[in-house]
Chain A
């Protein structure tokens, strides 16, 4: 069965006054119907940019998708016209943003904003839309949905706003929801609630979910497969179980080691990854991670590794895996 989403060698570059930034450099991965995929990496590694590229929401200037293909439901999104793309957005593929306060229109009611995609794509009238809206708000567990529909975003708490965004995303029953750092702006308890909610909803609606985050804990629990991103490239891919049990890239290893875990000995020290994330304007030669790598050897400094299959469904871009 063909994957719902197939990204092939996608590249998005930013042409700034200070130089060329290859925010996304030839990444490839798939997402299948109904599955949850995690895209993990630290801040600034390009994961959000890659997500925006899927919906072709990259601001131009200064950014531009310069290469690759994005096959969604069999069509290459990069070849669609803008109008055709508008039909996909919010309808077949929806995105949930972080910072829900800024991502919601302050002068429009919640009801208006949630029912908007319903009106645009499903042709509903305002009344029909608002009715569906109440149902959606109930799904995302917002209390008193019938009154909330007429409220303005600034009256909501952070968690409620994020739930609103989820409701907005679910409205047209999309095949894929992209959640960009959905819980970063929230406290831990709310985070857990929201993630459970999203997991249940995607299961109930049969929606595929792409979770973009820097938080390993989230992907460990909720994702089926994981892609690890570093400096604009995917450097490891595999099932969640594989990646956690047996990370094959030093960066992924480093990420695991720097996360505190309840099942570790309390005296065991947290090991941070040495060094700084690379400057996109001044990338290291060879493997982009090599300046920070504890296993570095000569080949790493010279040749940039591509993703190398190690086990079935587990690849890593590291010369250590090549004997």
Chain B
């Protein structure tokens, strides 16, 4: 290459600035959701927010850190359980949702010391065993009544409309907060570290990446996020039946959302949650065939399009709406194509 073709390294582009502005406007509109949406709309968006949390957390763990877990329902279920437990022991119900997630996040710290030593499929199923164990332990609490379950009775203190709005705001705040945390985490040194670990753990370690610390950060964050999602879910569903919360079906949903949207892309997980939400609304009634479709989609995407819809869009167009990486552009070619073929996905 001739010396005249200077390179620029850039993160923000015109498109991504527009995208951020649109996202900010959308966030403001959504923040006032209960004021302009009907009851049904509020409920549905609350569900969507929880899906986004699940997808983004699983994507951070799997897509960015390369740790495939089949057991995130452990944290989802524990989050719901601790919310019920805390509310029962007198803690105000909405703070208890967040407190529950903090407890689960703290519990995941010692767990990480054991589980993060496992690799690949062993980690995946090992986490599944952890979720089965968590399920059994929760069942030992007499408050839960075994598989019969219990309810978040404390919610009855609120009138229905207020309860709906409060749950919505909690879910929205949780989603926005976690999205911001993941966004800044991925843009910072931890983001670079975990992607290096995902691509080659030994090489990453050899250049001084503190592998265990980086992995642990993401593992605990993902546990906290899944627990918060579980606590929010029990706030919308009211009933807590251990079997539904500790079901590997939640992991199936997370896999579908992250994989179809775009594993290892920040926008992809959000897109995946929206796609899943739409598919569930249209085909959820189809029951078993709907689940067959979800599994088949996960299989096909894993084999044919492992970076999902958004990964495919990125590869074709070099479009970055919410950039967590950098890209390299030839300055001399600015007047030509907006995205030179040598555009590099780097962090």
The answer to whether A binds B is no
Residue numbers of A with Cβ under 8 A of B are none
Residues of B within 8 A of A (CB): none
